[in-house]
Structure 1
Amino acid sequence: MGGCWIGNVASVLCLARLAKRDPKLGGPYAYVRSGMGDYAGFIVAWTYWISCVAACAGISIAFVGYLGVIYPGLLESALSSYSIDGRYCLEFDTSKYSKCW
């Protein structure tokens, strides 16, 4: 677990170098599409989208777990977990740049 930052730093440096070399909008999708073609770009875009949705759900569940220490009744009700998850996703949905679904 302590070595995860090494991979993270390497990927950030890789994306920074790609952004400097090819300053198009689109992030990882645009870089993969220009380097490997449309199909690889499509796969990267869908994988990135799915990881964002999974992260949205994971962060919401973790938040309810941490909040359950302060308010023990939250852990007993699945509805509270869903309501907080929905609120979190709506914040992303109203954003100009990202969608949760």
Structure 2
Amino acid sequence: MSDILDKLKSISPCYVELSETVLFGQMWHRNVLSTRERSLITVAALTVLNRLEQLPFHLELARKNGLSVEQLSELITHLAFYGGWPVAASALERLALMADKELR
């Protein structure tokens, strides 16, 4: 699934198993919301909660799920008014790093 889960597997195999089977295995594949919509929701939640450690993984996943850098930028800018200017600035910084990496 990700390098993060691989690192956590040795100290908490149960957490990794639940992440892989329940969160990413079941929740992300329910038909009520698309993976694109789930990515929007997840990036929004991580941004306003200032969970910057998890944000790069989910920004990349959002790109794989069909969201453009422009759409993610618009989402984060919109969130600045609801979650706060500092958390939006931090999220936009992570988005810029990802976008720069994509251009290489």
Which range, TM-score by smaller chain?
A: 0.3 to 0.5
**Which of the two has higher C-alpha Rg?**
1
Q: TM-score if structure 1 supplies the norm length? A: 0.34
Structure in which a larger fraction of residues adopt helix? 1
Higher relative contact order (CA 8 A, sep 6+): 2
